[in-house]
Structure 1
C-alpha cells in the first residue's frame, strides 16, 4: 500500500518528497536547511552532487510504503533511470521546518 505524499505526517518531509517527485530542484532546495547533509548506505555524500545524479538527472521517483517517527522515517519504493526500482529506507532530521539531514539506503 502506498501512502500519498500529501498524507505524510511531517510537513518538511512531505514538501521535500513532493519536490523530488515533481523533479523540482528549487522546491527541493527550499525544503532543505542551508547546511543540510546526506548519507547513502552509511557513506557521507555531497548533497548537491548526489541529488543531481540520483534524483534530478535520472528522474527519481519515490512511493512511500510506511512511515514512523512522526513521519521522519519512511520505507519506500524508489526508482530512477540509473538503478531501476529498489526498496529503500529514508530517515530525515528536521530543523526549523526544513530537512537538515537525509540518511538513505537499501531497506
Structure 2
C-alpha cells in the first residue's frame, strides 16, 4: 500500500518527491539548499552527480510505502532504469523550507 504524494505530511519532502517523480530538475534544485549534502548507503556523494545518474538520466521514481518523523523519514519502493526496483529508506533534514541534507540507502 502506498501513500499518495499529495498526502505526504511534510510539504518540503512532498515537493522533493514530486520533483523526482515528474523528472523536474529545476523544481528539484529549487527544493534544495544551495549547499545541500547527501549520502547513499552511508557514503557521502556529490549531490549533482548522484541525482543526475540515479534520478534524472535514469527516470527515477519514488513510491512511498511509509512515513515517520513528521514525514521526514520515508520507506520507498524506488525504481530507475539502471537498477530496477528496490526498497529504500530516505531521511531528510529540512531548513527554512528546503532540504539541506538527504540520506538514502537500502531498507
Q: TM-score range by the shorter chain?
A: over 0.9
User: What is the SS of the residue equivalent to 1:54?
Assistant: helix
**Residue 61 (structure 1) aligned with residue 51 (structure 2):** no
- After TM superposition, what 4+ stretches of structure 1 lie above 3 angstroms from structure 2? none
- After TM superposition, give the deviation of residue 50 of structure 1 in Å: 0.1
- Aligned twin of 1:106: 106
Q: TM-score, normalised by structure 2?
A: 0.99
What are the residue-to-residue correspondences of 1:20-59 with 2, within 5 Å?
20-59=20-59
Name the CA distance, whole Å, in 1 between partners of 2:47 and 2:19: 15
- After TM superposition, give the deviation of residue 61 of structure 1 in Å: 0.3
Name the CA distance, whole Å, in 2 between partners of 1:76 and 1:41: 14
User: How much is the aligned-residue C-alpha RMSD, in angstroms?
Assistant: 0.3
Q: TM-score, normalised by structure 1?
A: 0.99
Name the CA distance, whole Å, in 2 between partners of 1:37 and 1:13: 15
Deviation digits for residues 49-104 of structure 1 (CA, Å, limit 9, x no counterpart): 00000000000000000000000000010000000000000000000001110100
User: What is the SS of the residue equivalent to 1:23?
Assistant: coil
Name the CA distance, whole Å, in 2 between partners of 1:17 and 1:33: 16
**Unmatched tracts of structure 1, length 5 or more:** none
Name the CA distance, whole Å, in 1 between partners of 2:65 and 2:20: 16
